[in-house]
Copies of this chain bind each other. A is one copy, B any other.
Amino acid sequence: MNVLIVYAHPEPSSLNGALKDFSVKRLEAAGHAVRVSDLYAMQWKAVVDPNDSSEHVPGTPFNVSAESARALRNGTQSEDIAAEQEKLKWADAVIFQFPLWWFSMPAIMKGWVDRVYAYGFAYGVGEHSDKRWGDRYGEGSLAGKRAMLIVTTGGWEPHYSARGINGPIDDLLFPIQHGMLFYPGFDVLPPFLVYRTGRMDEAKFSQACDALGRRLDELWSTRPIPYRRQNAGDYDIPECTLKDDVAPGATGFGAHVAR
């Protein structure tokens, strides 16, 4: 199978770098083809701007989604964007690896999402009408592919627990896992998390690699998070709210996971 690792850390000799190298070796040893988008090494351009298409006319207003759609349609996207879209098409599974900075991904990876997720590629896909609100949340260009986060944080696991002050890690990652991965069609696997990175030693690193190795070995058999598909009957369209008889009374992120 083909695995793409989208990786964001500025220091190759970091824990993140070591975990990324471990993943590449483990996956290749299992016979998979692996490609890595090392965003810092690529000096990935993080910021959406008119240079993302060769068609923008200087001095005219820049409409982000309209120009994104036109550039995708006409093949005038900048080369770095088109190359990442090709990698996504090639991949059977995509791993996004990053340190949790301010409860989200580093800016360089957010800029990968902002730029690679073109209109017509990751959003604005399919019919939008009173009866159907696009091919998204379980359908879309990336349907049939798997995605998984590998996330490191200096904080303690209890800080990210159900009653921890940072908020539960599953909820903090919902905008990414549900909003950026399930939205364009990925089946999203539970994340692989490493806490208290400041206290990492050889024994803990070895444990983390063992656990990560098992997750990589099970990449094709792990059950995805059972997010509800938008167009499979659970939601009223076009309001995109849960029907009254689906998880009655439940609200919040958890209501969109079929238990």
Residue on B nearest A105 in the bound complex, by CB: B110
Binds B, one of A28-36, A83-91, A155-163, A200-208: A155-163
Residues of the B chain whose Cβ atoms lie less than 8 Å from the Cβ of A250? 163
Residues of the B chain whose Cβ atoms lie less than 8 Å from the Cβ of A154? 65
Q: Report the minimal beta-carbon distance from A254 to chain B, rounded to whole angstroms.
A: 8
| Pairs A–B under 8 Å by Cβ, sample size 23 | A40-B47, A46-B46, A46-B111, A47-B108, A65-B154, A102-B117, A102-B175, A103-B180, A104-B104, A105-B110, A108-B111, A156-B238, A156-B240, A158-B240, A159-B240, A159-B241, A164-B239, A165-B242, A167-B179, A167-B253, A168-B252, A171-B253, A252-B253
Q: Is the CB of A174 within 8 A of B167?
A: yes
A101 at the interface (CB under 8 A from B): yes
A255 at the interface (CB under 8 A from B): yes
Task: Provide the bound-state CA to CA distance between A178 and B235, in Å.
Answer: 29
Q: Is the CB of B103 within 8 A of A241?
A: no
Residues of the B chain whose Cβ atoms lie less than 8 Å from the Cβ of A171? 171, 174, 252-253
B-facing residues in A71-113 (Cβ within 8 Å): 99, 101-108, 110-111, 113
Contact of A239 among B156, B240, B255 (CB under 8 A): B156
Q: Report the minimal beta-carbon distance from A84 to chain B, rounded to whole angstroms.
A: 14
Residue on B nearest A112 in the bound complex, by CB: B107
Residues of the B chain whose Cβ atoms lie less than 8 Å from the Cβ of A253? 167-168, 171, 252
Q: Report the minimal beta-carbon distance from A70 to chain B, rounded to whole angstroms.
A: 15
Task: Provide the bound-state CA to CA distance between A10 and B67, in Å.
Answer: 13
Residue on B nearest A117 in the bound complex, by CB: B102
Given A104-B104, A107-B108, A111-B107, the answer on whether A49 and B166 have CB atoms closer than 8 Å is no
Task: Provide the bound-state CA to CA distance between A13 and B60, in Å.
Answer: 10
Q: Classify chain A's interface size.
A: 35 or more
Task: Provide the bound-state CA to CA distance between A158 and B101, in Å.
Answer: 30
Q: Report the minimal beta-carbon distance from A251 to chain B, rounded to whole angstroms.
A: 4
Q: Is the CB of A241 within 8 A of B179?
A: no
A129 at the interface (CB under 8 A from B): no
Task: Provide the bound-state CA to CA distance between A162 and B64, in Å.
Answer: 29
Q: Is the CB of B167 within 8 A of A242?
A: no
B-facing residues in A129-179 (Cβ within 8 Å): 137, 154, 156, 158-159, 161-168, 171-172, 174-176, 178-179
A48 at the interface (CB under 8 A from B): yes
Residues of the B chain whose Cβ atoms lie less than 8 Å from the Cβ of A168? 251-253
A221 at the interface (CB under 8 A from B): no
Q: Report the minimal beta-carbon distance from A174 to chain B, rounded to whole angstroms.
A: 6
